[in-house]
Structure 1
Amino acid sequence: MAISSPGIGSNLDVNSIVSQLMAIERQPLTALARKEASFQAKLSGFGTLKGALSQFQTAVRSLSDISKFQGMRVTPADTAIATASATATAVAGTYALEVTQLAQAQKLATAGQASSTSAIGAGAATTLSFDFGTIAGGTFDSVTGKYTGAAFTSNGSGVKTVTIDASNNSLSGIRDAINKADIGVSASIVNDGGSSPYRLVLSAKATGQTQSLKLSVAGDATLSSLLSHNPADNTGQALAEKLSARNAEFKVDGIAVSKATNTISDVIQGVTLNLAKTNSGSPTNITVARDTAAVTAGVEAFVKAYNDISKIFKEAVAYDPDTRRAAILNGESSVRAIEAQVRSVLSAPVAGGAGAFTLLSQVGVSLQKDGLLALDNSKLQGAIDKNFSDIAALFAAAGKASDSLASYTSASVKTVPGAYKLEVTQLASSGKSVGSAAAGLTITAGSNDTLQVLLDGVSATVTLAPGTYASAAALAAEVQSKINGAEGFVAAGSSVTVTEAAGVLTLTSTRYGSASKASISGGNGMSSLMGAAAVVTDGLDVAGTINGVAATGTGQTLTGATGNAAEGLQVKVSGGATGSRGTVNYSQGYAYQFDKLMDTQLGTAGMIASRTGGIDTSLKSLAASRDRMTDRLAATEKRYRAQFTKLDVTISSMLSTGNFLTQQLANLSKNQ
């Protein structure tokens, strides 16, 4: 037998003995490793389950959108004449469309210039003021592109300005300055091939007869002679009109309609038409129908999503008695609990009354013995044919007001499904200022041409164009145009309407609510425009109750009170009278409920997070135990090696002694 302990020679195999002993000592560590592997496998299993639940949520969230089940389909008979789209508010039917004229934007051109880059004028600071409006009356010469005896009325959208100076007073510089200003006009340069070929072409970005241009120039005289353009001034039209501003003219079911654009969304309810070509004398049909295919696809997607997650649950906890093999999450009570919560959603009818259906079985969806859903397409089609608009409430969050001038807007996660009484004690109004006397029609520069306007909390100064206005209506249009064109108001999204009655002007904010304000607070033209004591009234928020509790009013919207079942329910009251206004029903469909359940289960406080957190804690504890055990095993192995090394030395010593005695005895025998 070979010597296994270096330098000893006892033939005691210390390494083998210690290895065998340590193998026994390491058995608890092996068991611990198996336990760690089991926990890691469960973490992986929960990760897979979490991914499946996330996919389920994505599917049901898309189905919790009410538009998925209320789509309308619109089909033009001739898409060369018009294309169209529809919203859920469209009414099924067939409409005859006859287009006699397409909407068109005005185009104006300057006189030809020898160069597009040479300076025009002396470079003095010059302001180009663009106003948009309607040209009426008079005659138009298509050869010269000029009007004679016409009138121009501003559309009130606001005067826009562009500054030209020595840095940009060439034709190309003017083009770039106008385009950079983004004022609703695009500029380009056309080379007509003549002796002075370069022409600046100005195109209104918006179509329609109220989008004709009036261009005033203050500053350099040369620029003024090139660009000043007032279609109401027979001798003040420097530009030639190449294309006239026109409305789209068409008929729907024989009713004549005129619109500023070729995209029209307010003629046929819920339908947007995009006119592309005239067909005068040959009407084409526009057919609007319910998009039943989209509803069927939505219901099928719901059934598939539920069945997919049900199969995932089954596979996660499965056990095969033949092979005696269990799935990773078999025995996990948290998985069973989540599955039970998912199933429980389908066990209760949809409450709230926002739709006619309350159970999936009413639209052909039934729960089978194997726990999966099945769809009866014929029954679903019957439900679609009978009550198309109410299917959405079975899947999505939906609301419905019984009053035609009140409408459900939205709800919060705290809103409880139900039917809530609505009472209005105050209607919303807009801030306004009413003059105390008829406005003076003569505006004189530096005398009565400025107004300090306070609109919705924003203040700005505007300057009216001097002159004697033909009527109070014309002056009202000028005031409205200047106010709505002020940069501060445009940036704030605020605007006014200015009207007149018997010469008295009224300014009204287009907003509703307590933040709505409109008044003339100063300026040298305040008294001549509004009189000595204009009556200023701030806007009011709508006020009332939802579910018998005072709601919060903001503009025209009432919001259910905090702590009430109707908390977060928003209802828009657009008109009507004060008093009882019927009820607002709110429902949470099955897809919506599943989405919110997944929010809970996939969140930090959900069962999966709680269980995986517990597993992580156990793994940390096992890791600490493993470290302690590893340290102990190292000490044990060290002790074993020391003990058996000592034993090895002792045995070696005894062997040496034995050999010595044997030799001595042998010698004694020889001597006798």
Structure 2
Amino acid sequence: MALSSAGIGSNLDVDGIVSKLMSVERQPLTKLARQEASYQTKLSGFGTLKGALTSFQTSVRNLSDISKFQGLKVSAADATVVTASATAAAVPGTYALNVTQLAQAQKLVAGGVVSDIAPVGKGVITFDFGTIAGGAYDAVTGKYTGSTFTTAGSGVKTVTIDSTNDSLSGIRDAINKAAIGVTATIVNDGSGTPYRLSLSSSTTGAAASMKISVANTAPDTGLGTLLNHNPAGSQALVQKSTAQNAEFTVDGIAVSKPANIASDVIGGVTLNLLKTTTTPTTISIARDTAAVTTAVNDFVKAYNEISKNFVDATAYNASTKTAAILNGEASVRGMQAQVRAVLTAPITGGASAFSRLSEIGVAVQKDGSLAVDATKLGNAITNNFSDFAGLFASVGKSSDSLVGYKGFTSATKPGAYALDVSQLATKGSATGTAAVTGTALVIGAGNDTLEVLLNGVSSTIQLTQKTYASAADLAAEVQSKINGAPLFSAAGSAVAVSAPGGILSMTSNKYGSASTVSITGGSGQANLNFVASGATVVTGLDVAGTVNGMPATGNGQVLTSSSGDSAGLALTVGGGAIGARGTVNYSQGYAHQFDTLATSILGTTGSLLARTDGISASIKGLGKSQEALLARLAVVEKRYRAQFTALDLTISSMNTTSNFLTQQLAQFANLASQ
């Protein structure tokens, strides 16, 4: 008969015995758990260190921005007249500004109609932008008399009105949707014909006046009646706001600009004109020394924080005999050594007068931290303000004023590199075979189209049918239509068309081998003397030369070194002579180097990830060992229980036999005594 519970038959504590035996067997499992806990703690420690390194990188990356060390402060005596900002190119000084007129956009208003949803007419509306000159302007009627209109050549824009949008509301929406630089609105003036279309140029300036031409869709004439507007002729609209330039003086020098924001008046300074003046106001430009001081102190703070993180992570307290989480970790000591190595090495390349932090008053203390000598820093800023960027950021400096530093790659090494230019960049151009005169100036239905290839993009344009006063007048029309073609505008391409000696000549707005312009067909090709066999078509050239004696690659005006220590160094050659063009110095400042180092440490092949991957692999291995040990312990426990259960049964059987024999012997004894 089987026992219902182990130990009942033998009085053995089977569960207790097995439990104590298994506690001994489980000791290796406890050791594995301690090892896993240790690894998890280290993994947590590396996670904290990673966070600290990431914060450090963010700080130094912000400080590797050259603008942090080249800032200028601009202030105006009267901020209600003008506000201003400056770049590193600005020169400190003071300027007297007097504003006599603000720039504004033209606004035209059409005659009223009874309904804004009733059909007005169908056709194609053409907008051209240019300058109105001469004659007289009546501010009461909003009309010009005896004036001329000269296109700006920025490109004509068209809007098609058909049966889906031929109401006043539809016309408004079609103009706005076309995004042609004109904003349309409808105003209800409360009269018997209350709905009036208002058209505002999106661009300020005298050259942004509108000329509106309508090609009616027969037999409709309503669209043309409403919107045909030629400042030099019939004007259906009323001008409510005149297109005008901003007029002002800087130190007594008269300036006229198409917008109230001007960035090309004072070098490196952007002016934002707000109102006219009765007396001049002063604009002051000064170096932002406070910003540089803040940037240097921020750099010191960032370095000290990461340095402390390394020290804390590897510390050992001798008195308490307590080690920090990452104490003894060779990878952490390696990272710490790399950071210190960057700090102790001088900046090379020669793009800055400074090569060490100590030269600006930043010194290493006995505990490895940095401290700032405010007096020495202030003197350095005062005497060498422009050189601070080279001590912290990645900068380039050319000895040739027409050569600009554009950029670098991770392959570029600090150094001084000689530049030699063998070819300057040029723009693509096309020139007709002969002057356009006489009947050639008459553009009609048989000669009004041109197929144009501009910088690799083709489009067909249609010239306005009329008799042009001169070749220059026709050149302005060709330029306006080409620059107004949507395909060219979308690609950022444009042309300048002139007519020296009556011969039309077109030049692309871009530099380099991709710069081309030609008339490839159209009914007006021969009329303008651009027949394919005779017209002179010149493809643009890329800049060519060497950097540090090694071949470089040209792309437009940008020359990029392709090999050697200067590989990746990009320079802009804006003109000048062929031949030796001086030296370009390139330096990588401390903030830039720390950013690069942090990227290396934190990257997918960096030491931090390699170590944490190793720890994770060890934890995974321990997990597998624990699983295997648990499986073995289950077998051992099962075996122990089987063995002690068998012993329990045996002892129980023996006890039963013993009890039986005892009873029998007792009975024999009783019989014998009788």
**TM-score, scaled relative to structure 1:** 0.97
Q: What letter matches 2:386 in structure 1?
A: S
Q: 1:214 touches 1:230 (CA, 8 Å); kept in 2?
A: yes
1:476 matched to which residue of 2?
475
Structure 1 residues 47-86: aligned runs within 5 Å: 47-86=47-86
Give the deviation of 1:7 after TM superposition.
7.6
1:663 matched to which residue of 2?
663
**Partner SS, residue 511 of structure 1:** strand
Change (3 A) 1:627 1:152: same
Q: What letter matches 1:383 in structure 2?
A: A
Q: 2:97 touches 2:280 (CA, 8 Å); kept in 1?
A: yes
**Partner SS, residue 581 of structure 1:** strand
Q: What letter matches 1:263 in structure 2?
A: I
Q: What letter matches 1:264 in structure 2?
A: A
Q: Does 1:301 align with 2:298?
A: yes
2:241 matched to which residue of 1?
243
Q: C-alpha offsets along residues 466-510 of structure 1, whole Å, 9 cap, x if unaligned?
A: 222223222211111000001111121110011121111210000
2:349 matched to which residue of 1?
352
Q: What letter matches 1:525 in structure 2?
A: G
CA distance in 2, matches of 1:531, 1:222: 39
CA distance in 1, matches of 2:546, 2:453: 32
2:159 matched to which residue of 1?
162
CA distance in 2, matches of 1:160, 1:607: 59
Corresponding pairs, count: 663
2:556 matched to which residue of 1?
555
Give the deviation of 1:5 after TM superposition.
4.4
Q: 1:352 touches 1:585 (CA, 8 Å); kept in 2?
A: yes
> Any gaps of 5 or more consecutive residues in structure 1?
none
Q: 1:61 touches 1:595 (CA, 8 Å); kept in 2?
A: yes
1:263 matched to which residue of 2?
261
**Partner SS, residue 425 of structure 1:** strand
> Any gaps of 5 or more consecutive residues in structure 2?
none
Q: C-alpha offsets along residues 399-421 of structure 1, whole Å, 9 cap, x if unaligned?
A: 01110101110000100110011
CA distance in 1, matches of 2:408, 2:107: 48
Q: 1:74 touches 1:86 (CA, 8 Å); kept in 2?
A: yes
CA distance in 1, matches of 2:478, 2:400: 38
Give the deviation of 1:167 after TM superposition.
2.1
Give the deviation of 1:80 after TM superposition.
0.8
Q: Does 1:252 align with 2:250?
A: yes
Structure 1 residues 200-215: aligned runs within 5 Å: 200-215=197-212
CA distance in 1, matches of 2:535, 2:470: 20
**Partner SS, residue 528 of structure 1:** coil
Q: What letter matches 1:343 in structure 2?
A: R
Change (3 A) 1:11 1:494: same
2:388 matched to which residue of 1?
391
CA distance in 1, matches of 2:327, 2:34: 17
2:597 matched to which residue of 1?
597
Structure 1 residues 1-40: aligned runs within 5 Å: 5-6=5-6, 8-40=8-40
Give the deviation of 1:285 after TM superposition.
0.4
Equivalent of 1:135 in 132, 135, 156: 132
Q: 1:439 touches 1:530 (CA, 8 Å); kept in 2?
A: yes
CA distance in 2, matches of 1:482, 1:275: 33
Give the deviation of 1:614 after TM superposition.
1.1
2:497 matched to which residue of 1?
498
Give the deviation of 1:244 after TM superposition.
1.1
Q: What letter matches 1:665 in structure 2?
A: L
Q: What letter matches 2:391 in structure 1?
A: L
Structure 1 residues 572-587: aligned runs within 5 Å: 572-587=572-587
Q: Does 1:190 align with 2:191?
A: no
2:423 matched to which residue of 1?
426
CA distance in 1, matches of 2:603, 2:138: 72
**TM-score, scaled relative to structure 2:** 0.96
Q: 1:4 touches 1:13 (CA, 8 Å); kept in 2?
A: no
2:88 matched to which residue of 1?
88
Give the deviation of 1:650 after TM superposition.
2.0
**Partner SS, residue 528 of structure 2:** helix
**Partner SS, residue 427 of structure 2:** coil
Q: C-alpha offsets along residues 275-306 of structure 1, whole Å, 9 cap, x if unaligned?
A: 111004x0000111111111111111100000
Q: What letter matches 1:21 in structure 2?
A: L
Q: C-alpha offsets along residues 241-273 of structure 1, whole Å, 9 cap, x if unaligned?
A: 111110000000000000000011000111111
CA distance in 2, matches of 1:622, 1:102: 77
1:329 matched to which residue of 2?
326
Output the aligned Cα RMSD: 1.4
2:569 matched to which residue of 1?
569
Q: C-alpha offsets along residues 2-60 of structure 1, whole Å, 9 cap, x if unaligned?
A: x9944842111111111111111111111111111111111111111111111110111
CA distance in 2, matches of 1:666, 1:177: 124
Q: What letter matches 1:548 in structure 2?
A: G
Equivalent of 2:277 in 279, 282, 299: 279
Q: 1:443 touches 1:464 (CA, 8 Å); kept in 2?
A: no
CA distance in 2, matches of 1:458, 1:127: 25
Q: 1:417 touches 1:586 (CA, 8 Å); kept in 2?
A: yes
Q: Does 1:292 align with 2:293?
A: no
Q: 2:6 touches 2:648 (CA, 8 Å); kept in 1?
A: no
Give the deviation of 1:436 after TM superposition.
2.0
1:464 matched to which residue of 2?
463
Change (3 A) 1:393 1:658: same
Change (3 A) 1:4 1:303: farther
**Partner SS, residue 622 of structure 1:** helix
CA distance in 2, matches of 1:195, 1:654: 125
Change (3 A) 1:390 1:643: same
2:626 matched to which residue of 1?
626
**Partner SS, residue 596 of structure 2:** helix
Q: What letter matches 1:39 in structure 2?
A: Y
CA distance in 2, matches of 1:327, 1:190: 76
**Partner SS, residue 551 of structure 1:** strand
Equivalent of 1:311 in 294, 308, 311: 308
**Partner SS, residue 629 of structure 1:** helix
CA distance in 2, matches of 1:662, 1:598: 88
- Between 1:608-617 and 1:262-271, the stretch displaced more is 608-617
- Same amino acid, percent of matched pairs: 62
Q: 1:4 touches 1:11 (CA, 8 Å); kept in 2?
A: no
Give the deviation of 1:531 after TM superposition.
5.3
CA distance in 1, matches of 2:53, 2:97: 49
Q: What letter matches 1:553 in structure 2?
A: G
1:538 matched to which residue of 2?
539
**Partner SS, residue 391 of structure 1:** helix
**Partner SS, residue 504 of structure 2:** strand
Q: C-alpha offsets along residues 109-151 of structure 1, whole Å, 9 cap, x if unaligned?
A: 1112222222224xxx400000000011111122221111111
Q: What letter matches 1:40 in structure 2?
A: Q
Q: What letter matches 1:627 in structure 2?
A: E
CA distance in 1, matches of 2:553, 2:188: 62
Give the deviation of 1:666 after TM superposition.
3.0
**Partner SS, residue 526 of structure 1:** coil
Structure 1 residues 142-181: aligned runs within 5 Å: 142-181=139-178
Q: What letter matches 2:70 in structure 1?
A: Q
**Partner SS, residue 527 of structure 2:** helix
Change (3 A) 1:290 1:7: closer
CA distance in 2, matches of 1:509, 1:179: 29
- Between 1:463-472 and 1:608-617, the stretch displaced more is 463-472
**Partner SS, residue 251 of structure 1:** strand
Q: Does 1:367 align with 2:364?
A: yes
2:650 matched to which residue of 1?
650
Q: 2:7 touches 2:14 (CA, 8 Å); kept in 1?
A: no
**Partner SS, residue 85 of structure 1:** strand
Q: C-alpha offsets along residues 576-615 of structure 1, whole Å, 9 cap, x if unaligned?
A: 0110000111110000000011111001111111111111
